[in-house]
Chain A
Amino acid sequence: ETGVTQTPRHLVMGMTNKKSLKCEQHLGHNAMYWYKQSAKKPLELMFVYSLEERVENNSVPSRFSPECPNSSHLFLHLHTLQPEDSALYLCASSQDGWNYGYTFGSGTRLTVV
């Protein structure tokens, strides 16, 4: 596989559930990102991992917990979410910052019921 792969593509979860989103990049990039895309809002940066260390948090609620076990994999662990957390969650990767652009996955469409 090439590029950035996200699984699952769609997820419906109850407010008391625990689930995880997975992202894998096959590009040899050294930074990975989680973005949230809601209707009527710009893309919001949630987390950044550079060289496997988290460098930005952006005051995201603690019900979202990222994990980056190595430079190719990124997870977003979800627990006790709220309906307003329903959104498209996008993973991206880059090499040496932003100048060469970010490569995005296709996203996970999350619905919290």
Chain B
Amino acid sequence: TQLLEQSPQFLSIQEGENLTVYCNSSSVFSSLQWYRQEPGEGPVLLVTVVTGGEVKKLKRLTFQFGDARKDSSLHITAAQPGDTGLYLCAVNAGNMLTFGGGTRLMVKP
């Protein structure tokens, strides 16, 4: 069983649509990070959420940390082809960064 379960695993949508991806766990975390990995590149940090219930916005991306700090969501408004990539959530487990399996998003023009 993975520490972090991400869903869906794959998502293919048309440009302009909205979407939400999820990161869930049965454990409580002090904070959680989201990364995006584009094809042929390493993951890039998008955001760190720290407080239960916290909402952070990054242009068309909205990140939420669950009230109980066990889960998080990422909502993208009006998706664009440039949003295509692998979205990874990660937490500090044993003082190391541990990742979920990721959601692979494809946005078609």
A94 to B99, alpha carbons, bound, how many Å?
16
Quick check: is B48 within 8 A (CB to CB) of the other chain? yes
Residue from the list B31, B43, B95, B98 in contact with A104, Cβ < 8 A: B43
A87 to B34, alpha carbons, bound, how many Å?
22
With an 8 Å Cβ cutoff, the count of chain A residues facing the other chain is 21
Contacts A42-B99, A45-B98 given: A98-B45 contact, CB under 8 Å? Answer: no
Q: Which of B31, B40, B95, B96 has the most CB of A within 10 A?
A: B96
Decide if B92 touches A98 in the complex (CB within 8 Å): yes
Decide if B95 touches A97 in the complex (CB within 8 Å): yes
A104 to B31, alpha carbons, bound, how many Å?
20
Within 8 A of A (CB), among B61-109: 88, 92, 95-102
A92 to B35, alpha carbons, bound, how many Å?
13
Q: Which of B43, B44, B48 has the most CB of A within 10 A?
A: B43
* Chain B interface residues (CB < 8 Å from chain A): 2, 4, 31, 33, 35, 40-45, 48, 88, 92, 95-102
* Chain A interface residues (CB < 8 Å from chain B): 4, 33, 41-43, 45, 48, 56, 90, 92, 94, 97-99, 101-107
